[in-house]
Amino acid sequence: MKRFRVFVAAVLLAAAGYYAWQHWPVHIELELGGPTAGWPAYGGDDGGSRYAALTQIDKNNVRYLKPAWEYHTGDVSDGEGDIPSTTAFEATPILADGRLYFPTPFNRVIALDPETGKELWKFDPKTDLKGHYANQLISRGVTYWETGDAALPSPKRIFTATNDGRLFALDATTGEPCTAFAKDGMFDLNEGVGEQRYVGEYQVTSPPVIAGDTVVVGSAVVDNQRVDIPSGVVRAFDARTGALRWSWDLAPPPDKRTAELAVSDAGYALGTPNVWAPMSVDAERDLVFMPTGNPSPDYYGGLRHGLDYYGSCVVAVRASSGDVVWRYQTVHNDLWDFDVPCQPTLTEIQKDGETVPVVIQATKMGFIFVLHRETGEPVFPVEERAVPQSPVPGEKSAPTQPFPVLPPPLVPTDLKSDEAWGLLGFDQKGCAEQLQGLHFEGMYTPPQVIQPTLMFPGNAGGTNWGGVAVDPFRQKLVVNAMNLAWVVSLIPADEFDAVKAANPHVEISRQEGTPYGMRREVFLSKLGLPCNPPPWGVLTTIDLTTGEIDWQIPFGTVRDIAPVPLPINYGVPNLGGPLITESGLVFIGAALDDYLRAYDLDTGEELWKGRLPAGGQATPMTYRLREDSRQYVVLAAGGHGKGGSTLGDSVIAYALP
């Protein structure tokens, strides 16, 4: 007993010492006169590099980061009560004209003082919160535009789009709508896209982009409901007046169609792919780079009539006209919901002694495509490889799919029958039995009717909307990815109602207009953990001069998702992206444990982590206003309703004391 008391005393002393070390006042000589930088666009710049030329926070002092201020939006929903949709606070603030601007999940736009977090103004578009938003209530960012035309009312503007499909222009100084834009500052994007059966079937979740004085905006639609969903048309507007300049209908060229397409009253094809993820702009080349989704529905392709042509592609569109310059398809005839999920990242790489302008596209498959920015041709080799074929009547799947040789896949693409994982013996046995009952011929196994199909990686595997960060000087790319298996089934239409009624908590959708509904779910054990081996989340750095992986580590602990809150470093699912600073740091939230972390870009060593007030499923940003000011790292910490992380409403800034 005496030894036990001594042991307890030692533990308490150690804990007290650790607490004192963590909270002891620290004096740091801050670097003054060093570089300053803002964050003027959603991805840091128009090309989405997520890189900041800042050095005040470095590898030696990052461990001293502390919260500098915290702001609460009040906009959060768990899907219960008066608001039927959950929220996901995925916003990345921008810094422009001396203010921080960001949207909430309810689409309110807020301007803050960037050094104190004090609210300067707030705009409420009064989004219809009663809608049923399958993509949740989400708004990832806003866009800033400024003109030198002093005669124009509101020469500094914030553009934002809403979950219920409206585009607003706001005065960046006051937050008031710019009445000279469209109709009293608002254009209704619902006009002309086709019938909507309920509010939330068509929404905008990502920020518009600015190309010169043109505002370009895409949209998201609900997955797997019907073949004639609203059009995925991308539209461009005059930033001054709101007049429509061009529209790009994602219908295939006439010679690629196998039947007449259904169209909206405005002539836009229905059921097309859309552009729901953020876009990028190359102003010098007059190009907008668009990541496209799938035609509808995702898991049956027998009635698409050529709509796959622009599906799951990176498309370069002329910013001044809307004409397609080139397209590169990352998945042919996509039957897996492998739509291109994140912002194409623009940078230059050094290859074979030359400087090559590229667009880098991360994907849900865990593949990274590096394409020449002017032609769309792969810069690193890509091979077309034979893949399993669909046995579903009326469906013809693609005989091959593109596999990048470099960079290598970020996550495994095969799950063997003896690789089922479980935390305990009975758990592992249950996963093994489930796996034996699944149909799997390797990656790109098409869903079928007779037997549930394993998808590995699944539609929430690989990367998602967070994208990548690039250090253009070190020639390093940083990307976080998920390693999760999914199970998908096709359900004959005459059995759909019975299957749905028997499985009320599983995602089951009708795919109306086709012979089959669909069912999909993560491949989980009885304890609620993935049945494929960890790590379930990874953080990776790639050398862009060679295409090879520099380092890869498990990313995130099971502290906040496991039955017992232990900080075991299995790596966890993650949503959000990284940023890189000139000082060689990688900052990232994203993981489903509630932390913001800093890593050494050169080694992958975790140098610091700060506990967040809620889930950090967003991409951080950083800035330093003046030579005598501090560098701040800011993250939206509001959690992810569907992801199961802690819900909240915080925007939190960290800085050195």
Classify burial at 16, counting beta carbons within 10 Å of its beta carbon; exposed 0-12, middle 13-18, buried 19 or more. exposed
Bridge partners for 401 per DSSP? 385
Q: Give dist(CA 563, CA 180) in Å, integer.
A: 55
φ/ψ of 596, rounded to 5, equals -105, 130
Six-digit token string for 597: 């972390």
Six-digit token string for 48: 């989405």
Residues 6+ apart with CB under 8 A from 656: 28, 30, 56, 57, 61, 64, 65, 66, 630, 631
CA distances from 593 to 207, 480, 578, 621 (A): 26, 14, 15, 19
Six-digit token string for 405: 């040789």
Q: Give dist(CA 591, CA 597) in Å, integer.
A: 10
Residues 6+ apart with CB under 8 A from 61: 28, 656
CA distances from 494 to 395, 464, 487, 501, 510 (A): 19, 34, 21, 13, 11
Bridging pattern class, strands 621-623 and 166-171? unpaired
Contact 267, 251 (CB under 8 A): no
Active-site residue among 45, 75, 171, 337? 337
Contact 142, 215 (CB under 8 A): no
φ/ψ of 497, rounded to 5, equals -60, -40
Classify burial at 236, counting beta carbons within 10 Å of its beta carbon; exposed 0-12, middle 13-18, buried 19 or more. buried
Contact 138, 88 (CB under 8 A): yes
Bridge partners for 521 per DSSP? 487
Burial 627-645 (b: 16+ CB within 10 A, else e): eebbbbbbbbbbbbbbbeb
Q: How big is the CA angle at 460 (ends 459 and 461), to the nearest 5 degrees?
A: 95
* Cα dihedral value 352, 355, 357, 358, nearest 10: 40
Six-digit token string for 66: 């502390």
Which residue in 560, 335, 364, 568 sits closest to 457, CA to CA? Answer: 364
Residues 6+ apart with CB under 8 A from 505: none
Contact 514, 300 (CB under 8 A): yes
Phi-psi region of 212 (alpha: psi -120 to 50; beta: other; left: phi over 0): left
Mark whether 82 is an active-site residue: no
Residues annotated as catalytic are 337
